[in-house]
Structures are given as structure tokens and as C-alpha cells.
Amino acid sequence: MNEFMRQVISVDAHQHVVARFFMPADEPRAAVLVVPAMGVTQAFYAPFAHWLATQGFLVATFDYRGIGQSRHGSLRKVSTDILDWARLDCAAMIDAMATRVGDKPLYWVGHSLGGQILPFVPNRQRVSRVVTVATGSGYWRENTAALRRTSWWLWFVAAPLSVRLFGYFPGKRLRKVGDLPRGVMEQWRRWCLDPEYAVGVEGESARALYAAVETPIVSLSFTDDEFMSLRNTESIHGQYANARRTMKRIAPKEIGEKRIGHFGFFKPKYEHSLWRAYLLPELA
């Protein structure tokens, strides 16, 4: 039976993230880094990570700074944004995984935001293959119809007012996303209001970073995703202009289910219908 180990990973001289490493029973055949969605703690991915370890992979989950176990003290004092999460937190995790598996393959499984930020990770060349799960651009006018009816309130009312009042985004109180550092929420808001998302806000340097990614990408998206529309999905993956992309859009009825949604993929009930059928072949 595999075990997990909690470890503090330094991102620079003064900051760190908390990670969990799930070890296979024998020598790992490869490594998998699970990169979380916005506001989702690593505990959500634990059953998925545990299962991957039983398949022979060394697996790591982690919390971005200011989230879950990587939240230290008041969020008002946390100075970070999404680009910092990519450049520091994700980069540190890649280094930590590479140290443990040497030259064996390292796979990146990115959920939602986790599939958006790879271009900003300075050592991403170490990643052998990328699987994005429920990843789209986040541009609010291209969100699903149900989300568009409420997202205007989030972006034009709740987010700017609450951040100004509290010094961070109190998502738990508002039942939206989760608590987020000020810099993260303000940057994410700018991205979601721009038709080109991160590229439209961060400029041509960001466009060049997306275009520079040549790592093969497999996109797993779902027809009943309550957040990401087909247009969202196509938009963000279109930015990866020079990567070989395989787009797989899955309807619940194809796997005999009524619902998958934005978060369903990582639930243990989908071990056979999604994990074995759609993910495992990509990690061979």
C-alpha cells in the first residue's frame, strides 16, 4: 500500500508551500504533479493522487501560497498573484519532483487554472506531457450561460468591493471560489474581463510564452461543465499555438453517468470510466 509524506517546499529564501508526496510500493516509473484549480486545496485531489501511486507513479499535490496548508496567518499580509504561483510555487514543485525521479518522465495534470499557467513556469521544459482537466480561458462573456448570469456580479460588484473592504477576497463568506489573496483575485479579475484572458492583460510577452510551449497537451473537457464552455476550452488551448494538442470532450452519457461537471473528474467513482479510460493511456 502506498504512503504519503507531507513536506515543506521552499519557493525562495523566505516563502514556502506545503506539499504531499504519494509514493508507489516500488520504484516509480514516472512522476505526476497535480496542479490545482483556483481556490481548491490539495486535499480534494488526495484520492486521485493515492490511486495514481497504486499505478506506479510518484505523485505530488500542493497548495499555492495563501491556500490550504500553504496559508500562513492573515491573507491580508499575503503578497502574491497568479504569476507568482506559476513562477515560484509551481517551479519549486517541478524541481522537487525532478530531484526525486531523476530523468524519468514528469507529467503535469492541471485542473482548470492548473492548465492555464504552465507557460509562466520557468522550468516547464522538464515536463514531458501535459493533461489539462476542465481547463478554459475564464473570459466571462464566453462562460456557460448559467455562469454568465452570476459572474457579472462577482467581477463588477463582489470582487472589487470585498477586496477593498477586507484586504483579500473572502470567498468562503460569499460562497464563491474560496478565500484568495488580494493580488490573486485582482489579477484573475483582470484576466476574466479580457477576451484574450491572460494574454490580453499580460501582453505580447505572455503570448510568446504560450507559443513557446512545445510539450504535448491532452485536453479533457466535459459537455456539462458548469463553468467552462466549449469556447472557453478552445480559446485557452488555442494560445498553445506550437504544442501538439489532442482535444477530448466527454459527455456524461458516454460513460454511463448523468453528471461530471467542472470538479467531477477527480472523484473516485470515475476510476474506471475516466481515470483508466482517458488519463492512464496518456501517462504510458
Per-residue pLDDT reduced to its tens digit, 30-50: 999 999 999 999 999 999 999
| Structural domain count of the chain | 1
Cβ contacts of 2 within 8 Å, gap of 6 or more:
22, 23, 24, 25, 50, 53, 54
Measured distance between the N- and C-terminal CA atoms of the chain, rounded to whole angstroms:
21
| pLDDT tens figures, 112-137 | 999 999 999 999 999 999 999 999 99
Residue type, position 86, single letter: A
Residue 231 lies in a domain: yes
Side-chain half-sphere CA neighbours of 140 within 13 A: 16
- 131 lies in a domain? yes
At 177-215, the pLDDT tens digits run: 999 999 999 999 999 999 999 999 999 999 999 999 999
**In the predicted structure, residue 64 carries a pLDDT above the cut 80:** yes
With respect to residue 203, please indicate whether it lies within any of the assigned structural domains.
no
- Characterize the bridge pairing of strands 129-133 and 106-111: parallel
Residues 57 and 54: their CA atoms lie apart, in Å, by 7
Question: Is 70 part of a structural domain of the chain?
Answer: yes
> Is 11 within the bounds of a domain?
yes
Domain-embedded: residue 195: no
CATH at 65: 3.40.50.1820
* Rounded distance between C-alpha atoms, residue 153 and residue 175, angstroms: 13
Does pTM surpass 0.75? yes
Determine, yes or no, domain membership for 22: yes
H helix count then E strand count, the chain: 11, 10
| Cβ atoms 131, 218 nearer than 8 A | yes
**pLDDT score recorded for residue 1:** 44
Structural domain boundaries enclosing 264: 3-138+212-283
